[in-house]
């Protein structure tokens, strides 16, 4: 499932190349309950057309006017806006906040060759960071640094408070071992949340297009599938078969990988049995502690749909609720 905002920079580049003009507006800082997260973007053409969003509709009009002015004078702007509770409520948001945005006219400030390189990196599913010093306006693309930020898709200022980092990364992956009812509920909400799920199950009567649509499906044995595409630091591994013959070999591969989350379905008793097997297989307590079991946040879930919500919540919490380096 592709977000309608995924190709904003490509569209901005096309506007510039056609001579229409383009401005890229980025949320660089927020306070309170700001409508859009840091890194969110809006693009504005020279004829006033806009795509994307920086405020959910609260201050877009004012931002567009500033963007058009920046296109005329060729100057980068850093602007601060307050979104009142009343304005936020008017566009369907619970409450307001404050935000700071960066306004960059393409060509006159943001070099077109830099934008082309960024668009190309995104198209090739590379992780890349757009780095800009808002005082000197020096810009560059960074490919092999800021691993924590890339892993969590966390844009923001460095500690110097003048260097802004906007993270562009491929979608986080979720490898789901076991094409069970919980998986059927988990796949669509994972896609809505921006993840790229894959179903792994050798049982073709379970893992098929009729049950899971167009997402990636592997009918290899789970350990074979995970060996072919070893989980990295942007991958969550979720084991749902409840069958040690399928789950355990996959778990061994996952524990030897950089996967940021590993979770396995089962009761406390089942999980203790799983721990004992892992110890017998030679895994250390530190490695075993990486396994979330019983899987999911404890929200009293009982149905497959509720369990799916609890699992995805735990995946997101593991990803987000860690302080960045």
Q: What six digits make up the tokens of 116?
A: 């082309």
In 139-221, the DSSP E strands lie at 139-142, 156-157, 163-168, 173-177, 196-200, 216-218
How far apart are alpha carbons 26 and 43 in whole angstroms? 9
Contact at 8 Å (CB) between 51 and 43? yes
How far apart are alpha carbons 317 and 263 in whole angstroms? 13
Contact at 8 Å (CB) between 135 and 162? yes
* pLDDT attached to residue 121: 93
Cα R_g (the chain), whole angstroms:
22
Residue keyed to tokens 């009729």 = 210
Residue 48 CB partners (closer than 8 Å, separation 6+): 64, 68
Query: Nearest Cα to 223, choosing from 258, 197, 249, 247?
Result: 249
Task: Name the superfamily (CATH) of residues 173-320.
Answer: NAD(P)-binding Rossmann-like Domain (3.40.50.720)
Question: Which residues in the chain land under pLDDT 50?
Answer: 1-5, 89-95, 323-325
* pLDDT attached to residue 5: 46
* pLDDT attached to residue 85: 56
The residue ranges of every structural domain in the chain are: 8-168, 173-320
Helix (H) / strand (E) element for 192: namely helix 181-192
Backbone angles phi, psi at 128, to 5 degrees: -145, 150
CA 283 from chain centre, in angstroms, equals 30
Angstrom CA distances, 70 to 55, 114, 116, 134, stand at 19, 19, 20, 15
How far apart are alpha carbons 310 and 308 in whole angstroms? 5
* pLDDT attached to residue 87: 54
* pLDDT attached to residue 169: 87
How far apart are alpha carbons 147 and 237 in whole angstroms? 19
Contact at 8 Å (CB) between 104 and 24? yes
User: What confidence tens digit (pLDDT) does each residue in 23-62 have?
Assistant: 999 999 987 766 678 999 999 999 999 999 887 666 788 8
3-state SS class at 147: helix
* pLDDT attached to residue 125: 84
* pLDDT attached to residue 19: 95
pTM (2 d.p.): 0.74
* pLDDT attached to residue 84: 60
How far apart are alpha carbons 187 and 316 in whole angstroms? 14
């Amino acid at each position: 499932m592709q977000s309608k905002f995924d190709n904003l920079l490509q569209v901005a580049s096309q506007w510039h190349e056609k001579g229409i003009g383009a401005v890229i507006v980025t949320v660089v800082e927020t306070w309170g309950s700001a409508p859009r997260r840091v890194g969110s973007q809006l693009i504005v053409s020279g004829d006033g057309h806009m795509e994307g969003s920086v405020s959910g509709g609260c201050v877009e009009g004012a931002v567009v006017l500033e963007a058009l002015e920046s296109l005329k004078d060729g100057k980068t702007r850093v602007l601060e806006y307050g979104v009142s509770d009343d304005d936020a409520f008017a566009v369907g948001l619970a409450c307001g906040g404050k935000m700071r945005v960066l306004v960059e006219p393409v060509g006159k400030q943001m070099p077109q060759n830099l934008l082309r390189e960024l668009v190309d990196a995104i198209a090739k599913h590379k992780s890349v960071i757009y780095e800009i010093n808002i005082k000197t306006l020096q810009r560059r693309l960074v490919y092999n640094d800021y691993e924590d930020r890339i892993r969590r898709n966390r844009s923001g200022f460095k500690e110097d408070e003048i260097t802004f980092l906007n993270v562009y990364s491929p979608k986080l992956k979720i490898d789901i071992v076991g094409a069970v009812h919980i998986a059927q509920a988990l796949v669509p909400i994972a896609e809505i949340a921006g993840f790229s799920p894959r179903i792994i199950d050798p049982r073709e009567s379970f893992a098929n297009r009729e049950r899971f649509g167009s997402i990636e499906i592997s009918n290899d044995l789970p350990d074979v599938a995970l060996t072919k595409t070893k989980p990295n630091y942007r991958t969550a591994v979720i084991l749902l078969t409840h069958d040690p013959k399928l789950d355990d070999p996959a778990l061994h591969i996952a524990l030897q990988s950089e996967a940021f989350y590993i979770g396995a379905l089962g009761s406390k008793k089942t999980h203790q049995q799983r721990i004992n097997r892992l110890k017998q297989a030679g895994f250390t307590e530190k490695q075993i502690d990486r396994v979330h079991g019983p899987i999911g946040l404890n929200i009293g879930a009982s149905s497959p749909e509720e369990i799916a919500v609890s699992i995805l919540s735990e995946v997101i919490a593991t990803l987000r609720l860690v302080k960045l380096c």
